[in-house]
Structure 1
Amino acid sequence: MRTEGQLRESIQRFQESFWNRKSADRPPVGVYDERMFLPINFLRRPYLRPTVSPDDVTGELVMTEYEYSFANRAVSCDDYTAFSAAWRGVPWLEACCGCAVGYAEGSLAPRHFVESPEDLANVPIPAANGWFDRLRCETGRLEAQAPPDCWISPSILRGPSDVLAAMRGLSWFLLDLYDNPLALLRAAARIGQLLIETVEMHYSIVEPKLGGFGHIFGYWAPGSTVVIQEDAMGMCSPDMYRDIFMQSNAELVHRLGKYVLFHLHTTGYKHYKHVLDIPGIAGLEIGMESIGPTILDLVPVFREILEKSRLILHVGTGFELLPQVLRKLPTEGLFLGIPDKYVRNDQEFHEFTKAMWKS
């Protein structure tokens, strides 16, 4: 468990260097357990049925992130915010829009059920299937049980394009982008409204801790915060994002305030320029992938983002290139996430930060 003094030091670093974009000795740097990105690992026992129902998702079935990882973290002097969230194995927004939640060894996945883009207009959103209420109950349970150094974060809440890809099936969704974009545009507005209501529900339950909130991407924010995900758009022309989904994202930013960020993968990031054009967007979160451009290739993109906004960079690959990369980037508005396979203890953390940002 981290002490209150350690927490306040990290919070001050987030406030000044990341949110206020002021010059500092170093930016916030967090060390994270990569196993947390596979929430199927949180199961306390094998799950034996092919479909997951809302009543299944309880503390008796799954551990929290804090139980699984943060309670025994090897690095305690970094800035990664400890969190728990309603089980991230569940595709929550897809389920709330009517998708059945299928279970297979190693993952949970939403099942498509809408037969045509025209049928989207008749789908009740949210569905009367109990998933929204389960999310509310799980959020309340976690908030009541949170340890002193743990924040309760919104769970994974994917954006309208990802939800529509789940409802229609990915192949049909990609065809719909060309065959009936208007149906998708209208459905995206309805899903976007549900996303807003879901985030507002979360913050009606979760209270600020030490003046702010934590998120599953490891950062702290002084106000209610969420990260938009539109991963399906990584496979499409950036103009598709701009013309069909950007407006629903802009409405979310307008409604939820100035601490809304946007999640991207390096395998599909080209719509980032349009994202930066969303009025009030707080910044971008980018996860490095083992395929696609290298972290060094993306330095011009990172610089462009940091000149205009903020960047959370999760270095899942390319750690050996970080010295070259960081020499070319400003620290203002940057938060760096490093897997614990590269930084294994407090001593290695101090050695890493000293080497990267020599005074």
Structure 2
Amino acid sequence: MLTAEQKLELHHAYWNKQELPRPLIGYQVGSQLISENFIPARKLLESPQQVTPEMIVVEEYYDDYQRMYEDSLKIEQEAFWAAVPFPGIPWIEAILGCPIYSTDGSFWAKPCYDDINQIELYLDQRNPWLEKLLEFTEKLVEFSQHRFPVGQPILRGPADLLGALLGQEKMVYAFYDHPETVKRLAQDATRVFIEVVKLIRERIPPFYDGYSFGWYPLWAPDKCLIFQEDLMALGSPAIYRQFFYECDRMISKAYTFTTIHVHPNSFFIVEDLIAIKDLKVIEINYDLGGPPIKEIIPLLLRILEKKCLILRGILKETDLEVIKKELPCRGLFLHIVVPDLHRGEELNKFINELYQIDEINT
């Protein structure tokens, strides 16, 4: 197994885009339905119901974090496993007023505005959902006892936030009926997003003189953040540039190391993302039912020309063979989702044989 010092060397090599024996690898063990990996969340999912902050008791989640941490030590990987505040909750949507409901293995935010002109976006420091998020962060830091880093949970960007607050259909109409209002609210949502991340990061100490992104177990030499614009799947390149491109530039400048999460149905924004100088990493989600690895290789190569890359998803042996043949190892991080430890160990053995290495080293 790699020592912490060896992992740090490999991460520095990743950021410097140096050639490596194999891509950096981190494993997510368990269900793809995030909430199902946490036993206390299951009782909230047993029947559809509204979820409120007091229903989430942080200490009840400790056993799951301990199990995930111990599992991470059993699989050879370059990643430092990171704890994040329960990632199933749409935190910022809740903070901005959306009622949160449980259904079908996950949690969702119900729109809370009928008219875009009713929306006012600002951060109330006394909001119970914000207080719960910060409490969760602080208690995870205490629970970690410096054994593992604490990072940022999934937080959605301005397009996703407006879609949650207003409803997706109404947001699309608003692009045409209220463009100036959309621009203003997108900027307001961006400021709220940055402030929420700032409050989280203020509570997280360094880990080996750096920080973990969190949801992606990638270590960085300085503070970092993750964001996404999944609802751009309802837009177009022109709509993205008109309403959200400048927002994403603002978010990307907020910290030294930033990454955006992108699904195949939003690939049309990737070229614009590559143009954002301060954006360090683009994460491509390899979706079930999406295009096969062979079809997205040109896009991945284009990203690697200018940025570092995270490729995340359920990767099979045939996918890994294509990656080995077509992609360089420099600047490439594979975040592989596996159902259990056995599958992780099986894939790790396959990857080492594929790259013809006996062990990971620099």
**What TM-score comes out, normalization by structure 2 length?**
0.89
Task: Tell me which residue corresponds to 1:103.
Answer: 102
Task: Tell me which residue corresponds to 1:262.
Answer: 260
Task: Tell me which residue corresponds to 2:18.
Answer: 22
Q: Which letter does structure 1 place at the counterpart of 2:218?
A: Y
Q: What secondary structure, in the 3-state scheme, does the structure 2 residue paired with 1:349 have?
A: helix
Task: Tell me which residue corresponds to 2:297.
Answer: 299
Change (3 A) 1:315 1:23: same
Q: Deviations over 1:156-179 (max 9, x none)?
A: 110011011000011111221222
| 1:304 shift after superposition | 0.3
Q: What secondary structure, in the 3-state scheme, does the structure 2 residue paired with 1:108 have?
A: strand
Provide the rounded CA distance (Å) in 2 between the counterparts of 1:282 and 1:351: 29
Q: What secondary structure, in the 3-state scheme, does the structure 2 residue paired with 1:228 have?
A: strand
Q: Is the 1:241–1:271 Cα contact (8 Å) retained in structure 2?
A: yes
Higher helix share: 2
Q: Deviations over 1:299-335 (max 9, x none)?
A: 0000000011111011425541321232121211111
Q: What secondary structure, in the 3-state scheme, does the structure 2 residue paired with 1:261 have?
A: strand
Q: Which letter does structure 2 place at the counterpart of 1:207?
A: P
Provide the rounded CA distance (Å) in 2 between the counterparts of 1:105 and 1:62: 20
Task: Tell me which residue corresponds to 2:92.
Answer: 93
1:208 has 2:192 as partner:
no
Aligned residue pair count = 353
| 1:61 shift after superposition | 4.4
Q: Is the 1:164–1:173 Cα contact (8 Å) retained in structure 2?
A: yes
Task: Tell me which residue corresponds to 1:31.
Answer: 27
Q: Which letter does structure 2 place at the counterpart of 1:211?
A: D
**What TM-score comes out, normalization by structure 1 length?**
0.90
Mean CA deviation greater in 331-340 or 74-83: 74-83
Q: What secondary structure, in the 3-state scheme, does the structure 1 residue paired with 2:130 have?
A: helix
Q: Deviations over 1:191-236 (max 9, x none)?
A: 1111111111112110111121122112111111111111001232
Q: What secondary structure, in the 3-state scheme, does the structure 1 residue paired with 2:266 have?
A: coil
Mean CA deviation greater in 182-191 or 348-357: 348-357
Change (3 A) 1:190 1:348: closer
The 5-angstrom pairing of residues 157-306 of structure 1 reads 157-214=155-212, 215-257=214-256, 259-306=257-304
Q: Which letter does structure 2 place at the counterpart of 1:28?
A: L
Structure 2 gap ranges (5+): none
Task: Tell me which residue corresponds to 1:69.
Answer: 68
Task: Tell me which residue corresponds to 1:42.
Answer: 38
Change (3 A) 1:341 1:142: closer
Structure 1 gap ranges (5+): none
Change (3 A) 1:322 1:131: same
Provide the rounded CA distance (Å) in 2 between the counterparts of 1:65 and 1:158: 24
Q: Is the 1:126–1:194 Cα contact (8 Å) retained in structure 2?
A: no
Q: What secondary structure, in the 3-state scheme, does the structure 2 residue paired with 1:32 have?
A: strand
Q: Is the 1:65–1:85 Cα contact (8 Å) retained in structure 2?
A: no
Q: What secondary structure, in the 3-state scheme, does the structure 2 residue paired with 1:337 have?
A: strand
Q: Is the 1:7–1:149 Cα contact (8 Å) retained in structure 2?
A: no
Mean CA deviation greater in 311-320 or 102-111: 311-320
Provide the rounded CA distance (Å) in 1 between the counterparts of 2:270 and 2:78: 26
Task: Tell me which residue corresponds to 2:58.
Answer: 59
Q: Which letter does structure 2 place at the counterpart of 1:12?
A: E
Q: Which letter does structure 1 place at the counterpart of 2:21?
A: D
Q: What secondary structure, in the 3-state scheme, does the structure 2 residue paired with 1:268 have?
A: helix
Q: Deviations over 1:325-350 (max 9, x none)?
A: 32121211111122335973557524
Provide the rounded CA distance (Å) in 2 between the counterparts of 1:304 and 1:30: 23
Q: Deviations over 1:99-157 (max 9, x none)?
A: 1111234221111011112222x354448531112211111111011154421111111
Q: Which letter does structure 2 place at the counterpart of 1:288?
A: Y
| 1:83 shift after superposition | 1.4
Change (3 A) 1:310 1:112: same
Q: Is the 2:301–2:327 Cα contact (8 Å) retained in structure 1?
A: yes
| 1:285 shift after superposition | 0.6
RMSD: 2.4
Task: Tell me which residue corresponds to 2:77.
Answer: 78
Q: Is the 1:82–1:149 Cα contact (8 Å) retained in structure 2?
A: no
Q: What secondary structure, in the 3-state scheme, does the structure 2 residue paired with 1:152 have?
A: coil
Q: What secondary structure, in the 3-state scheme, does the structure 2 residue paired with 1:344 have?
A: helix
Provide the rounded CA distance (Å) in 1 between the counterparts of 2:164 and 2:126: 18
Provide the rounded CA distance (Å) in 1 between the counterparts of 2:274 and 2:26: 24
Q: What secondary structure, in the 3-state scheme, does the structure 2 residue paired with 1:269 have?
A: helix
Q: Which letter does structure 2 place at the counterpart of 1:10?
A: K
Bigger relative CO (Cα 8 Å, ≥ 6 apart): 2
| 1:292 shift after superposition | 2.5
Q: Deviations over 1:38-65 (max 9, x none)?
A: 2244132613672111222222444576
Change (3 A) 1:280 1:205: same
